[in-house]
């Protein structure tokens, strides 16, 4: 997922059942671990509704 070209959320599609999700922001030296994919998919939509 990408937000206006300066934030990217991604996971490695390597066959892992519940891979880690990472976030990369423009000007960061390295991506940050956010959470696992299952948690990300269940919580992210709710976070957007509240804002």
Over the stretch 3-30, which tens digit does the pLDDT of each residue have?
776 889 999 999 999 999 999 998 899 9
pLDDT at 6: 82
| Distance in angstroms (rounded) separating the CA atoms of residues 11 and 36 | 9
pLDDT at 20: 97
Residue 23 phi, psi dihedral angles, 5° rounding: -125, 130
pLDDT tops 80 at residue 49: no
Using a cut of 0.95, tell me whether the model's pTM lies above it.
no
pLDDT at 13: 94
Task: Encode burial over 19-47: b for 16+ CB neighbours within 10 A, e otherwise.
Answer: bebbbeeeeeeeeeebeeeeebeeeeeee
pLDDT tops 60 at residue 48: no
């Amino acid at each position: 997922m990408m937000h206006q070209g300066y934030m990217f959320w991604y996971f490695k599609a390597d066959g892992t059942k519940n891979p880690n999700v990472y976030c990369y922001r423009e000007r960061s030296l390295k991506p940050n671990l956010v959470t696992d994919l299952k948690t990300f998919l269940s919580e992210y939509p709710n976070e957007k509704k509240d804002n």
